[in-house]
Structure 1
């Protein structure tokens, strides 16, 4: 299919966006959440699909195993604000979900999330990834994802990342905004990507505790096996290989899934500049990240 040219960034309520995430804005803002909905929130390329898959397996792996082989993850866990015109808008996909609970994903910064999620006191799982690895992953994603602006070379991209000129705004505001909300919204579980890589089983236990689930040891092992990075990377229902806006010849949707890959990309000078800038931007928050595990 013939794809439209890559979109341009523009300012939307103080956040950089492209039209793919604002075309359906009225329906997004008016979206009616249900009390048992679970919202999976992340900055792009921070582990969204990983956590989506974990939750889908926890809730439906045994009761509806056919989902795993017949439905791509983006239909099981709709991307709320998306309107790529090759699929129905995310709000429509979410409204059509027959499952309970509904699993819904978003990359929106906390201040743009539809108010019904707060009014219904929904459970929210937020996944955060350290800025350096997140930037590297986002760079490779933008190279292959035709629905995002052209990334340019790594040096220019990194500068833009530091300036916050990214789809869904600055990483810094995103992770700190959701961290602050965690202090007042008791049903928000804040997960670090690095912790999940370090010990998936432990983080799975914490997630189950937050969700009030008590799967058997055997079931937990099955989930853990199903969400190993290499397993998911090969799974066409999880790896987005069925989406025509992504060019897997340039880079796969799931590339490495590791902590510390930034060391293969940052020069010494870039790293020093990034660290200095990071200290300034993160000085007023208590959230802390690890760049190695």
Structure 2
């Protein structure tokens, strides 16, 4: 890595078996005690796929998190909340996460891309192992209250996925509603929207001089970053980690 190991683990630490940002886990009591409401909608992603403010929001609330299923506050399960898990193939996630690391001044420098991928493969990045994250939520999706969506499917046929989402929320997928959602959730629309592109954050928190938060929104950008050797190593590790899972991803469309 481009920074020393001690410095890296000053910022991140093991938390119940998951590497987490120490700044986040210091307020864990608030997270764990979070009281979900039955009509809350939880949207979950692994990174690159405010408890107090949420308490004051009116229902129905949309709650976003990167937490692995084992760290999710129990009240979400107790209240039988609906949950949407959006996942993306590991190679594109690694690329996007690398650029995100570069954008956060408080994070240790990630070093070269290949060095970062080594950390990614070993789960030594915030929110832990991508493999554990997606597999645990894949198991949870056996519950009809959990909808599992693939980023690649959204890129390929956004209309189909939007209709699936609307039906999951027990709404009527009218043509007008579907078209409106597709328009407002297009990559270009979100890239230009300050409420989704994070450009309102000060430079000392997120530097857009390094990269834009929403970079390309495509599938297969990993081919521009992985060397042949790194790709072969990654594929071997991936097969070993995912061999017992029925979860299948597409790395290109």
- Shorter-normalised TM-score: what interval? over 0.9
**1:27 equivalent in structure 2:** 30
Q: Which runs of 5+ in 2 are unaligned?
A: 1-6
Does 1:169 pair with 2:172? no
Residue 215 of structure 1, CA deviation: 4.0
Secondary structure, aligned partner of 1:238: helix
Query: 1:96-175 maps to which residues of 2 (within 5 A)?
Result: 96-98=56-58, 100-175=59-134
Q: Which runs of 5+ in 1 are unaligned?
A: 47-89
Residue 219 of structure 1, CA deviation: 2.2
Superposed CA offset, 1:42-72 (max 9, x none) = 10000xxxxxxxxxxxxxxxxxxxxxxxxxx
CA distance in 2, matches of 1:23, 1:207: 34
CA distance in 1, matches of 2:162, 2:105: 33
Query: 1:35-50 maps to which residues of 2 (within 5 A)?
Result: 35-46=38-49
CA 1:122 to 1:147, structure 2 compared with 1: closer, same or farther past 3 Å? farther
**1:269 equivalent in structure 2:** 229
Residue 144 of structure 1, CA deviation: 0.5
Residue 150 of structure 1, CA deviation: 2.4
Q: Which runs of 4+ in 1 moved over 6 A?
A: none
TM-score scaled by length of structure 2: 0.93
**1:15 equivalent in structure 2:** 18
CA distance in 1, matches of 2:140, 2:106: 29
CA distance in 2, matches of 1:147, 1:200: 35
For the aligned residue pairs, the C-alpha RMSD in angstroms reads 1.3
Superposed CA offset, 1:15-57 (max 9, x none) = 00112320210011010000000000110000xxxxxxxxxxx
Does 1:228 pair with 2:186? yes
Tell me, yes or no, if the aligned pair for 1:126 and 1:178 is still in contact at 8 Å.
Answer: yes
Does 1:288 pair with 2:241? no
**2:212 equivalent in structure 1:** 252
Residue 148 of structure 1, CA deviation: 3.5
TM-score scaled by length of structure 1: 0.81
Residue 281 of structure 1, CA deviation: 0.5
Tell me, yes or no, if the aligned pair for 1:9 and 1:149 is still in contact at 8 Å.
Answer: no
CA distance in 1, matches of 2:125, 2:37: 30
Residue 173 of structure 1, CA deviation: 0.3
Report the number of matched residues: 244
Tell me, yes or no, if the aligned pair for 1:39 and 1:105 is still in contact at 8 Å.
Answer: yes
Tell me, yes or no, if the aligned pair for 1:172 and 1:282 is still in contact at 8 Å.
Answer: yes
Tell me, yes or no, if the aligned pair for 1:148 and 1:167 is still in contact at 8 Å.
Answer: no
Superposed CA offset, 1:238-277 (max 9, x none) = 1100112110010000000100000000000000000001
Using CA pairs under 8 Å that are at least 6 residues apart, name the structure with larger relative contact order, 1 or 2.
1
Does 1:208 pair with 2:173? no
Superposed CA offset, 1:178-215 (max 9, x none) = 111122x2200000010011111110000011110114
CA 1:30 to 1:257, structure 2 compared with 1: closer, same or farther past 3 Å? same
Superposed CA offset, 1:134-174 (max 9, x none) = 00000011100234442111011011101110100010000
